[in-house]
Amino acid sequence: LMAVLLLFALTACSGNSSEKSSKTASNGGDKVNAKIGVISYLTGPGAAYGEAITNGLKMAQKEINAKGDVKIDLVIEDSAGKQEQALSAGQKLMSNDDIVGLIGPTLSTEMNVVGPEADMNGIPIMGTSTTAEGIPQIGDYVFRNSLPEALAIPASIKKAVDKYGAKKVAILYGNDDVFTKSGFDTMKKAAEDMGLDILTIETFQKGQSDYNAQLTKIKGLKPDLILCSALYNEGAVIMDQARKVGIDVPFVGGNGFNSPQVIDIAGKAADGLIVATPWFAEKQDPKVQDFVKKYETEYGKKPDQFAAQAYDALYIYAEALKNAGEADRDALRDSLAKIKDFPGILGNFSFDKDGDVVMEPTVLIIKDGKFQPFQ
């Protein structure tokens, strides 16, 4: 029997390998074989985002392939966090007819250029970490499963305001990145909606190393809270320098701060950072604990939000491919749009009519060098 099975498996495999996964059913029975292109921020100052994302994808891939309804191959390209590199990586993947769908890129800044290209080419693309306003609205082929800033930021500001009775805030944001700018817009609007007094709005640029001018000004104005829209690299340095100039008030950050890198870089200075996230590794849910344990065994550290979102994203693709019954770009798009209440480690997942996320965030605070529930 084993020999017959082996022979069958070999025949099925060799039959499929010469076919284009994107345009043919490529079925060996019920099985859908699919190649998925990944555009990820794997080198440069924000590479920990892309590392977590690709780790999460590879873990999901292994499990999905072991189950056997769908077989997924990943073709991974580095975007280095740059628009041009993300676009050329995207174009390379899109021009490969074998590739049925894309995951990534990591940053909203990158998705803003890759998304329209994917939509034009009729290939589904899903961001697992792109949280700026307007991403899924780029087009019918553009999706995301990451918690948008528009949901995360008002939740964390509200909790911080309630807890500390805050009335006066200072805002600091990166003005050369789609995500940090969008996060700022959301922060400003949330602060206005809550009737907070915005004392000052300060800006910085990617890769900046000295924030003393902005921080000294902010310190003099004595805010109750600092709202900061930054990626982890700049964000962690800002917190470190803020504590050094004697600013001890809490910070409220967006999705960019949801990385353990903030604690690695800023150390004790990261204490008092408040964020909202769909992911909490301590959650008492067997699915979550199983994922955390396996991830720790495989990669020697706890998974962060970015690993968790990517892990769920590949499962969502696998479910959509299984429902589509074939590895075809249009069929996959339509099937993705229909995903409803898919049970992931971030909860039951559905897209809204735009391909955006419906999700409840949890608010966390860094205390004693650890993300903890903020009560």
Among 22, 26, 85, 106, binds ligand 1QQ (CB under 6 A): 106
255 contacts ligand 1QQ (rule: CB under 6 A) = yes
Shortest distance, CB of residue 118 to ligand 1QQ, whole angstroms? 16
- Residue found under tokens 């990820």: 40
Nearest to 123 by CA among 360, 297, 333, 348: 333
| Window 40-79: contact mask with ligand 1QQ (x via CB under 6 A) | ---------x------------------------------
Per CB under 6 A, 256 contacts ligand 1QQ: yes
Q: Of the candidates 26, 54, 112, 129, which one interacts with ligand 1QQ according to CB under 6 A?
A: 129
Tell me the closest approach of the beta carbon of residue 231 to ligand 1QQ, in angstroms: 6
Residue ranges of alpha helices (H) inside the chain are: 2-17, 47-67, 83-94, 108-121, 149-164, 178-193, 212-221, 232-244, 261-266, 286-299, 305-324, 329-337
Stretch that binds ligand 1QQ, among 105-113, 166-174, 210-218, 297-305 (CB under 6 A): 105-113
Give yes or no for residue 179 binding ligand 1QQ (CB under 6 A).
Answer: yes
Cα separations in angstroms, 375 against 164, 169, 219, 234, 260: 11, 20, 26, 27, 20
Task: Using the rule CB under 6 A, give the single segment among 25-33, 125-133, 286-294, 296-304 that binds ligand 1QQ.
Answer: 125-133
Q: 33, 40, 79, 131: which one contacts ligand 1QQ (CB under 6 A)?
A: 131
Q: Cα(61)–Cα(40) distance, rounded to whole angstroms?
A: 16
Q: What angle do CA 75, 78, 81 make, to 5 degrees?
A: 140
Q: How far apart are the first and last CA of the chain?
A: 59
Instruction: Please give the DSSP secondary-structure letter assigned to residue 257.
Output: G
Q: Is residue 126 at the binding interface for ligand 1QQ, with CB under 6 A as the rule?
A: no
| Subset of residues 200 to 239 that bind ligand 1QQ, contact rule: CB under 6 A | 231
The window from 114-122, 123-131, 279-287, 323-331 that contacts ligand 1QQ (CB under 6 A) reads 123-131
- Report, in Å, the least distance between residue 195 CB and ligand 1QQ: 27
Q: What DSSP designation does 174 have?
A: E
Backbone torsions φ then ψ of 364, nearest 5 degrees: -120, 160
- Radius of gyration, CA atoms only, the chain: 21
Residues of this chain that bind ligand 1QQ (CB under 6 A)? 49, 106-108, 129-132, 179, 231, 255-256
